[in-house]
Structure 1
Amino acid sequence: MPINIHKQLPARQLLKEEKIFVMDEDKAILQDIRPLSILIVNLMPEKERTELQLLRLLGNTPLQVNITFLNMASHESKNISKNHLDEFYKTFEEVKHRKFDGMIITGAPIEHLPFEKVNYWEELVAIMDWSKKNVTSVLHICWGAQAALYHHYGIDKHELSKKCFGVFSHQTSDSTVKLVRGFNDEFNAPHSRYTSISVEEINNNPELTLLAVSEDAGAFIILSNDEKHIMITGHLEYDATTLAEEYQRDHAKGVEVDIPENYFPNDDPSQAPLNTWRSHTHLLFSNWLNYYVYQETPYEWE
């Protein structure tokens, strides 16, 4: 949240130079506060797990947030009961008349498919196009980030020689940008994907800024210059054990997969992994909600 201080306080200019969020008393008096409305397009197969992971993060700020979950009407979910979807989820047809302050589009384990071959691609495109005028800021995660880069900016994904799987070190390019405010210069984040995005294509696109990158995992945090879209290519929302469960699941199925890198102590799958990315996860979600949603969204949508 911003700090509210007098216009003439000597420290004010120094704080602004350091990019600390300062609000004048006059503006603070005029501020109206209401709950934020966040739409979560949950594309993950284990929807209840993803719900918990995201709600834990969205609930860790001083802001009141009203959540609406969205399910793809053009896709039949196999890992969740119909009763759960009927009770807790909406379809796009049911919400497209509304305005939302923020939206999250999750990842999905379908990266082996060309985007146009995904059975709900047309519906997702309609949602992404609708969001341009009906959502203040959109946070895209993993495959959702790749889908946004492809649809909005024409940047396609490419297959990796092996799965990007583990916890990797990342560096920020500009610590004064609001989204990564408070981040360490180097921080960890988990990845689990078979495809990636070209760093060169992102850097060459005049509409995008690469905020964080990993020498091993590639592009990580991408921000559109109009601050409308935030693309996160990894899974900061993952719990400490999520990669372990993915590894054990694939291993049990006979899928050839390496042990997640930099994850298990001593690379020993029998040992409990540690969550070394939690603080930056909370910080990113808090920064997104505050700077890109709460501070930018109109009090009353026209």
Structure 2
Amino acid sequence: MPIKIPDTLPARATLRAESVDLIDSSTAARQDIRPMRVVLLNLMPKKVQTEIQYARLLGASPLQVELTLMTTASYSPKNVGQDHLLEFYRTLDDIRDEYFDALIITGAPIETLPFEEVKYWQELTEIIEWSRSHVFRRLGICWGAQALMKTLHGIDKFQMEDKLFGVYDHHLRQNTGTRLMQGFIDRFPMPVSRYTANKAEDIEAAGLAVLAHSDEAGTAMARCSKTGDLFILNHLEYDADTLGQEYFRDKEAGLDTALPENYFPGNDDSQAPINRWRPYAFLLFNNFINELYQDTPFDLSTIKH
């Protein structure tokens, strides 16, 4: 089944070119089916690029997914036009009385700041609290995962000496008997780009299960067994050139940025990187939506009870 996004969203052209199955609003309204309602809180500066990355993955599900784009009201990003935000994005006040199957919180380039110093931290904690009664399940990516773990489970992040930057192999934990990880092999790659981390012992002490771990990059995925909330600290959604864009941007700015590890063929930054992680991105999101479909109530308004 296709993914429903706004008919005039600029990302639609790119998604169609990739043969992502899309559905327009009028067609979706005629179908006698309840779509999976997913709200994407997009905190990344490059809004359109991030929209494409997540819509691509959600659109691969055999179920119909209705994607709602969300932004913060207390902070206006500088890298996207206000017209785009006003036309395609909604705030908490716009959807406060609605119910959703899932809330996805993206990463954000603010991870070195203490949580309380983030300009929209108070609003974000309000959104997370709202989700307890209006969203069945949460999924956080990178800083979004750290924010969720901090708010819901009191887990702190810590600053690393050096930036983790590259593509690292990750291992499934031996006790990972979950539908979410079906189809994964024991060792798989994930892109990583962050200055902070969460300790596995802190995560497990809070009652969460570590699903995937790297000897070099630490914990990659954790989950709450009670709610099914998923915390992904790395970036399976990234395009092949996303790490490269970050590397060349910093290099052009004169920063002493390290070459991303295990990324450019032969560590030659003139060579095009190969996306070795995308099959696992599709697999994980497909499993997440399939599991969500099996677990979520048909009447979403019952979530509040």
Please name the residue that 2:97 is paired with.
Answer: 97
1:205 shift after superposition: 2.2
Aligned partners of 1:49, 1:119: CA distance in 2, in Å? 23
Please name the residue that 2:294 is paired with.
Answer: 295
Please name the residue that 1:120 is paired with.
Answer: 120
Please name the residue that 2:6 is paired with.
Answer: none
Please name the residue that 2:19 is paired with.
Answer: none
1:155 shift after superposition: 1.1
**For 1:62-81, what aligned pairs fall within 5 Å after superposition?**
62-81=62-81
Q: For residues 131-152 of structure 1, what are the alpha-carbon distances to aligned partners after superposition, in whole Å with 9 as ceiling and x for unaligned?
A: 1111111110000011111111
The question of whether the paired residues in 1 share the 8 Å contact of 2:155 and 2:206 is answered with no
Aligned partners of 1:179, 1:109: CA distance in 2, in Å? 28
Aligned partners of 1:295, 1:103: CA distance in 2, in Å? 17
| Rg larger in structure | 1
Runs of 4+ in 1 over 3 A off after TM superposition: none
**For 1:7-156, what aligned pairs fall within 5 Å after superposition?**
33-156=33-156
Please name the residue that 1:243 is paired with.
Answer: 243
Aligned partners of 2:259, 2:142: CA distance in 1, in Å? 20
**For 1:200-279, what aligned pairs fall within 5 Å after superposition?**
200-206=201-207, 208-279=208-279
Q: For residues 145-179 of structure 1, what are the alpha-carbon distances to aligned partners after superposition, in whole Å with 9 as ceiling and x for unaligned?
A: 11111111111111111100000000011342111
1:33 shift after superposition: 4.8
Aligned partners of 1:146, 1:256: CA distance in 2, in Å? 26
Aligned partners of 2:105, 2:186: CA distance in 1, in Å? 27
Please name the residue that 1:193 is paired with.
Answer: 194
Considering only aligned residues, what root-mean-square deviation do their CA atoms show, in Å?
A: 1.3
1:257 shift after superposition: 1.3
Percent identical pairs in the alignment equals 47
1:203 shift after superposition: 2.3
**Residue aligned with 1:63, SS:** coil
Does 1:181 pair with 2:205?
Answer: no
Q: For residues 234-273 of structure 1, what are the alpha-carbon distances to aligned partners after superposition, in whole Å with 9 as ceiling and x for unaligned?
A: 0110000000000000111112211000000010100000
Q: How many aligned residue pairs are there? A: 270
**Residue aligned with 1:129, SS:** helix
Query: Gapped runs of 5+ residues in structure 1?
Result: 2-31
1:298 shift after superposition: 1.2
TM-score (norm 2): 0.86
Please name the residue that 1:167 is paired with.
Answer: 167
Q: For residues 194-234 of structure 1, what are the alpha-carbon distances to aligned partners after superposition, in whole Å with 9 as ceiling and x for unaligned?
A: 0000111112222x000000001100110012133100000
Query: Gapped runs of 5+ residues in structure 2?
Result: 2-31
The question of whether the paired residues in 2 share the 8 Å contact of 1:175 and 1:183 is answered with no
Please name the residue that 1:18 is paired with.
Answer: none
TM-score (norm 1): 0.87
